[in-house]
Structure 1
Amino acid sequence: MRVTHKIRPGVPEDIEAREYVRVTTWKAAYRGIMPDDYLDTLKVEPNAVARKEEALADALAEGLTPLLVGEIGGRIVGFVNLGRCRDEHIGGGEVFAVYVLPEAQSNGLGHALMTAAANQLRADGHKEIGLWVATDNTQARRFYERFGFVPSGHVQLLAAPLPPIEEVYYRLSLPEPVSSASRP
């Protein structure tokens, strides 16, 4: 079922809603991948929200678009963070995080967020983008593969402050703007 959604650039005032989406989605997506006792302790921390608001305000002031939010009915239910790849040896653009609340999944919002991120990164001059995903997160991996991402062969162990998890790097070539109409 298609639900009407809106994608827009994030502003510092969106950070608390973004953190709620991240924490809630982690608690669902990483069950069985990360320890339950770790996931059960996750919550939206006011100090973390304030630090992220400040970082986002700085990024926006520099002309960057590191956050896009997805709304349904005026409520933020998803987001994507993006920018230049953090790994110098890989290069290109990177999707740092993309999350949609469990109750808002499977309605096209995740695809719309990913399309907006890919098009923004292409407009920023990147011909290829990538992302890291937990090796055991099969639902996310299927989503990325349906979008066109392919495993690159790069693997890393993500450790402290998180419980250690293995991640695989996916990449996507961007020869042309991504069309939201090409949704599988």
Structure 2
Amino acid sequence: MVHVREMDAADIEAVSTIRVRGWQAAYAGIVPRTYLDAMTVESDAALRRQWFSQPRGESRDLVAVGEHGPVGWACFGPCRSRIPGPRRVAEVYALYVSPDLIGRGIGRRLLDEAHSRMAGQGFETSALWVLHDNQRARRFYERAGYRADGATQDDVYDEVTLTELRYRRGL
């Protein structure tokens, strides 16, 4: 059983481990191996500590906590891209679960809590970006009610260009 709460500074190492291991598992065969192999928990934690020490703005971090500490992490806030229309749009910036625990409902619990908090802040829509080739993540978000809205953007990882799709759903 897990519960979801706001992340605090004591969670940084665990969240960095979840994020780095999550990238290395989820993006194997999609993002170049050289890029994934260069990722370290230590460098991620150092950046996260620096970020955590500054004023937080409107973004929020949640952790799913199990018996032995954090097992998942989500980050969300105001949408970073312009979406036409009068609705207030939030964005899920990141959502990762310890790779050995994927499929146990932890990601869905984090996403549901993020949606609840977004709605509580007055947002009407949630958006997120997902790599085109990340079929597992696309299916996860589609089961949660997200649909691709036609917007794309490209990211470059070790000179390899990968396309992301923007997904949206109402809150």
Task: Classify the secondary structure of the residue corresponding to 1:45.
Answer: helix
Aligned with residue 13 of structure 2, among 16, 19, 22: 16
Q: Check if 1:131 corresponds to 2:128.
A: yes
Q: Is the deviation greater in 117-126 or in 84-93?
A: 84-93
Mapped to 2, the partners of 1:97 and 1:65 lie a distance apart of 11
Task: Classify the secondary structure of the residue corresponding to 1:157.
Answer: strand
Q: Check if 1:76 corresponds to 2:70.
A: yes
Mapped to 2, the partners of 1:120 and 1:127 lie a distance apart of 11
Asked whether the equivalents of residues 69 and 76 of structure 1 are also in contact (C-alpha less than 8 Å), the reply is: yes
> Amino acid of the residue matched to residue 106 of structure 1?
G
What's the TM-score once normalised by structure 2's chain length? 0.90
Partner of 1:55: 51
CA offsets per residue over residues 116-169 of structure 1, 9 Å max, x none?
001111111100011000000000000000000010100110126784311000
Aligned pairs for 1:41-52 (under 5 A) are 41-46=38-43, 48-52=44-48
Mapped to 2, the partners of 1:162 and 1:44 lie a distance apart of 23
Aligned pairs for 1:12-161 (under 5 A) are 12-46=9-43, 48-60=44-56, 64=58, 66-89=60-83, 92-159=89-156
Deviation at 1:55, TM superposition (A): 2.3
Alignment length (residue pairs): 168
Mapped to 1, the partners of 2:32 and 2:156 lie a distance apart of 13
List runs of 5+ in structure 1 lacking aligned partners. Answer: 175-184
Deviation at 1:74, TM superposition (A): 3.2
Asked whether the equivalents of residues 126 and 169 of structure 2 are also in contact (C-alpha less than 8 Å), the reply is: yes
Mapped to 1, the partners of 2:7 and 2:144 lie a distance apart of 23
Q: Is the deviation greater in 68-77 or in 156-165?
A: 156-165
Task: Classify the secondary structure of the residue corresponding to 1:94.
Answer: strand
Deviation at 1:50, TM superposition (A): 3.4
Q: Is the deviation greater in 64-73 or in 26-35?
A: 64-73
Task: Classify the secondary structure of the residue corresponding to 1:34.
Answer: coil
